[in-house]
A and B are shown apart, each in its own frame.
Chain A
Amino acid sequence: MNKKILNEILIAIENKKPIALVSELKTGNQCIVYEDRVSGLLSITDDIAELARASLSDDSSRRNGEVFIQVFNPPKRLIIVGAVHIAQPLVEIGKTAGFSVTIVDPRGAFATGSRFPNVDLNEDWPDEALISLGVDNRTAVVTLTHDPKLDDPALEVALRSNAFYIGSLGSKNTHLKRKERLKDSGFDEHQISRIHGPIGLDIGSKSPAEIAISIMAEITKALHAK
């Protein structure tokens, strides 16, 4: 790998741009496939460039005969609504699992830098925050506030998106009431069934850290069930 290719990859990672590195295994010659162009010493056919872009969209690196295509997609995202106690361990576990994490909470007392160092904090109202963040099929949305005024607007945006995971904290009873409210807002049973509630795999979690583990486990399961 030459220095120029390495630097181009690092710049793409920094700028969160999806790229694929194509390596010719015999010679070591390489090129980088961007969404709209190809750069580097190795010249490739249109078919390989297309395969590289297809590999990016299904997020899997692959060998194709004498070339290897390696995808570098931006990190998957975890959006947590509610800067509550459970969010603190969930931020750490999410980052360790490779997610880029954002906390959304318009209540200034909760989303403070001292409670959440090194994480993006968004103090907009949850629906506006989610719309501006842009929820896609590489995004997990978790609501933790227990407060319908904050959770519901976020869930409504999430349900209209391709989020690969939507989870909402609350008891079975709370979740039933939530489902009723969402039905009143015009969502049908099938759409609402995308929400994981009560949130997390059932591993008997009690403490905030244990609940965060069960949430991250459920997100992981959803990610690989795609």
Chain B
Amino acid sequence: MNDTLKHTKNYGHDDVLIQVSKWRNEGKEVAIATVINTWGSSPRPVGSQLGVDEDGNMIGSVSGGCIEGAVVHNAKEVMNDNKPRVLSFGVSDEMAWEVGLACGGKVEVYLERVE
């Protein structure tokens, strides 16, 4: 799989699934987050993916770094209960410690465990 990763390296979602498969083959718990809907100026288009392993290692992205922390936190829950879920993120209040998108957009993220 290492060779495959090297030759197809294109920073698209293909890399994410190749790395996810590698982690899973190493026996790690893994979850995949996928952007399934966006409104306004969200930074990553529909179909963008983030892979997360049980140690919190990430590949890919679902935003410009704004919501990845929260997605990783939820990914751990999905790894435990194996229930897929849809997360919604809206505009952040910059004065509060709230997770959201500074750009003013909204995104929906589908989160699933890799069995």
A pairs with B: yes
A residues near B, CB below 8 A? 1-3, 6-7, 9-10, 13-14, 23, 25-28, 60-63, 68, 70-72, 75, 95-100, 118
**Interchain CB contact under 8 A, B17 and A9:** yes
Contact for B24 among A3, A25, A27, A68, CB less than 8 A: A3
CB distance from A102 to the nearest CB of B (A): 13
**Interchain CB contact under 8 A, B110 and A3:** no
**Interchain CB contact under 8 A, A23 and B46:** no
**Interchain CB contact under 8 A, B84 and A25:** yes
Write 8 A-B pairs (CB below 8 A) sorted by A numbering. A10-B18, A10-B21, A25-B86, A27-B84, A70-B47, A71-B47, A75-B10, A95-B10
The binding surface of chain B is classed by DSSP as mixed
Q: Does B114 contact A (CB under 8 A)?
A: yes
CB distance from B9 to the nearest CB of A (A): 7
Q: A25-B36, A25-B86, A75-B10 are known contacts. Are A68 and B21 too (CB-CB below 8 A)?
A: no
Q: Does B112 contact A (CB under 8 A)?
A: yes
Closest-by-CB residue of B relative to A21 is B34
Closest-by-CB residue of A relative to B18 is A10
Closest-by-CB residue of B relative to A9 is B17
**Interchain CB contact under 8 A, B47 and A98:** no
The binding surface of chain A is classed by DSSP as mixed
CB distance from A51 to the nearest CB of B (A): 14
Q: Does B97 contact A (CB under 8 A)?
A: no
- Give CA–CA (A213, B18) in the complex, Å: 28
**Interchain CB contact under 8 A, A6 and B12:** no
Contact for B112 among A9, A28, A61, CB less than 8 A: A28
**Interchain CB contact under 8 A, A98 and B34:** no
The 3 A-B pairs at the shortest CB distance, nearest first, are namely A61-B47, A28-B84, A98-B10
Q: A13-B8, A25-B84, A70-B34 are known contacts. Are A6 and B17 too (CB-CB below 8 A)?
A: yes
CB distance from B8 to the nearest CB of A (A): 7
Closest-by-CB residue of B relative to A61 is B47
**Interchain CB contact under 8 A, A72 and B13:** yes
- Give CA–CA (A207, B15) in the complex, Å: 31
Closest-by-CB residue of B relative to A71 is B47
Across-interface contacts of A2 in B (CB, < 8 A): 115
**Interchain CB contact under 8 A, B17 and A61:** no
Closest-by-CB residue of B relative to A16 is B8
Apart from A61-B46, A63-B108, list 15 A-B contacts with CB within 8 A.
A3-B24, A6-B17, A9-B17, A10-B17, A10-B18, A13-B14, A25-B84, A27-B84, A28-B84, A60-B47, A61-B47, A68-B36, A70-B47, A95-B9, A118-B7
